[in-house]
Structure 1
Amino acid sequence: MLSLVTRAAVETAIRNPSLDPDLRNLLAIRASQLADDTEPDIELGDLAHFHAVEAGDGMIEVKAALGFAVDINLVDGVAFGHSDFVPSWEWIEHHVGYFELAFVLSDDGFGHILLVPDQLGVDPRLLDLCKSYAS
């Protein structure tokens, strides 16, 4: 799991040629949007933490990065696949090569952005979850 919790970490990732270009582009777009919508002295890490799933990562790594499971309803513990499952994210989008899930955790807008590559090698349960709800 690639976790980026400061502006410097995000900027370093954006410039890292060894990272997937689609991931770098998505990070650049979101970092720019957040910078445009906030005061200049606000640290990006105070607004959002970005987590990119890497090959071999699964639900355990996602839960460790976010602090909660994305495949369990936070209110009553219903698991993904059950008819009563309600996702905990604010929104999910499918971009070129990635699913983006946004979790807003506080009234001040702080949240986590989970980026899941839409490719082989990613936990099939995680991909199925994303594909089931992405717009």
Structure 2
Amino acid sequence: MLSLTNRAAVEAAINNAALDPALRDLLALRARQLEDDTEPDVELGDLAHFHVVEPGDGMEEVNESLGFAVDVNFVDERRFDDPAFVGSWEWIEHHGGWFELAFVLTDEGYGEILLVPDRPDTNPRLLALCRDHLTTA
């Protein structure tokens, strides 16, 4: 997992030529949007943390990085395998080979953003969760 918890870490990822260009573009877009909507002296890490799934990461690594189980509902604790499961995210969107899951955790709007590559080497359970619950317009 690549965890980006402040502006410097996000900037380093955006400028890292070894990372997928679509990922770098998405990070830059979200960072710009968050900063455009807040006061200039607010640190990006106080608004959101970004977590990027890397090859070999499973649900355990994802859940540990986020600090909660992405495949369990916050309210009723139903698991992803349960037909009545409803995810705790605000949205799941697909962007050029990446899924974005947004979790808003406070009334002030602080959130955790999970970025999941839509590739065959990504954890199949995580891909199924993203594909099965993709937010439609």
Q: Which TM class, normalised by the smaller chain length?
A: over 0.9
Partner of 1:69: 69
Alignment of 1:46-65 (within 5 A): 46-65=46-65
Partner of 2:40: 40
Deviations 1:14-60 (A, max 9, x none): 00000111110000000011111111100000000000000000110
Q: Quick one: percent identity of the two aligned structures?
A: 67
Alignment of 1:95-110 (within 5 A): 95-110=95-110
Separation in 2, partners of 1:77, 1:109: 22
**TM-score in terms of structure 1 length:** 0.98
Equivalent position amino acid for 1:101 in 2: L
Alignment of 1:1-135 (within 5 A): 1-134=1-134, 135=136
CA RMSD of aligned residues (A): 0.7
By how many angstroms is 1:81 displaced? 2.3
Separation in 1, partners of 2:113, 2:15: 19
Equivalent position amino acid for 1:4 in 2: L
Separation in 2, partners of 1:49, 1:96: 21
**TM-score in terms of structure 2 length:** 0.96
Q: Which of structure 1's runs of 4+ aligned residues deviate more than 4 A? A: none
Separation in 2, partners of 1:75, 1:62: 19
Q: How many residues of Structure 1 are paired with residues of Structure 2 in the alignment?
A: 135
Separation in 2, partners of 1:17, 1:83: 41
Equivalent position amino acid for 1:108 in 2: E
Separation in 2, partners of 1:86, 1:63: 17
SS of the aligned residue for 1:114 comes to strand
By how many angstroms is 1:77 displaced? 1.7
- Unpaired runs of 5+ residues, structure 2, are none
- Unpaired runs of 5+ residues, structure 1, are none
Equivalent position amino acid for 1:83 in 2: P
By how many angstroms is 1:74 displaced? 1.6
